[in-house]
Amino acid sequence: MAEIRDRVNKKAFINFLEKAGIEVHLNTKARGNSGFCTGKRIDISKDLPKEQVIDVLLHEFAHFVHFKLEPDIVKTDGTLEKLFDTNDVREIENELYQITLIVFDSIQLRKIEKLKDSIAEKISAEKETIKKDYPDFQTGRKFPQFEKFIKHSNAKYLLKYDCVIIKGGWFSHNVTISIKSIDDDFPSMPKAFSAYIKMKSYERKRNRLNARKSKFIRYLKKPTELFARFFQFCCTDIEAAENLAPTAFKRFRQLKNDGYYPYLNDFENECLV
């Protein structure tokens, strides 16, 4: 398989896809993505720079090829076993994940890690404030002095939420309390206790970031996404693909030459110049 990205004739590519039964739309929002493929339709975002259109078309074409191998991938995300026609996919999966991080550039993952580092520093700072008055304090263990105090304070709601509206009675107004203004909202609260509440808020943020990271990694590791990014990378730099993913590349090339992947050989014959 020769390097093909710069040899793809865009018009011929689109005609090829349409002959294969795919509707191609270049002027939609693509559901907020660069592109998407349903198996019968490919959309490319109208906001995508022109120089990236071919890359995204190649990526979505790989999804189309996968649809032909496993029509239910919308529900199952497909399997590497089917994509590479083998039950031994451990090394292939690892190689494809490294490739996908390069293609995707992992900007979001780096952003999440940077936020986590910042939050970790804030948690450490609040912990030091607590330890000034309570040297034996340890995260994850009971803090009896705080628990005794908080029972009688509306600040207890901030242990679960960052901002809360406390409803007033017949003759009083609603009051808003917040993590951001906790020192002003509760001026008589000991600094160690407000630091503890702030620390708990940062821990909640860290947990949300961990959940976000896990969800994002699960998306990146979907077999259909791993395969599409691998194919896109092969089209961009075949030598790098072979060096970075030797097991996956060898198997992919063998299956391609044997005609295992629907439309792939026809694509090369009809769409390259």
pLDDT of residue 51: 86
Asked whether residue 218 carries a pLDDT value surpassing 80, the answer given is yes
- β-pairing verdict for 163-166 and 35-37: unpaired
pLDDT of residue 92: 98
The beta strands (E) that lie in 16-130 are given as 23-28, 35-37, 41-45
Give the model confidence (pLDDT) of 96-132 as tens digits.
999 998 887 777 888 999 999 999 999 999 999 999 9
pTM: 0.78
Give the model confidence (pLDDT) of 7-33 as tens digits.
999 999 999 999 999 999 988 887 778
Read off the DSSP letter of residue 154. Answer: G
pLDDT of residue 3: 74
- Using a 10 angstrom Cβ sphere, with 0-12 exposed, 13-18 middle and 19 or more buried, the burial of residue 88 is exposed
pLDDT of residue 30: 78
**Cβ pair 74, 39 in contact under 8 A:** yes
Asked whether residue 144 carries a pLDDT value surpassing 70, the answer given is yes
What is d(CA 212, CA 171) in angstroms, rounded to the nearest whole number?
A: 43
Asked whether residue 1 carries a pLDDT value surpassing 70, the answer given is no
pLDDT (mean) for 141-146: 95
User: What is the share, in percent, of the chain residues with pLDDT greater than 70?
Assistant: 98
Mean pLDDT for the chain?
A: 93
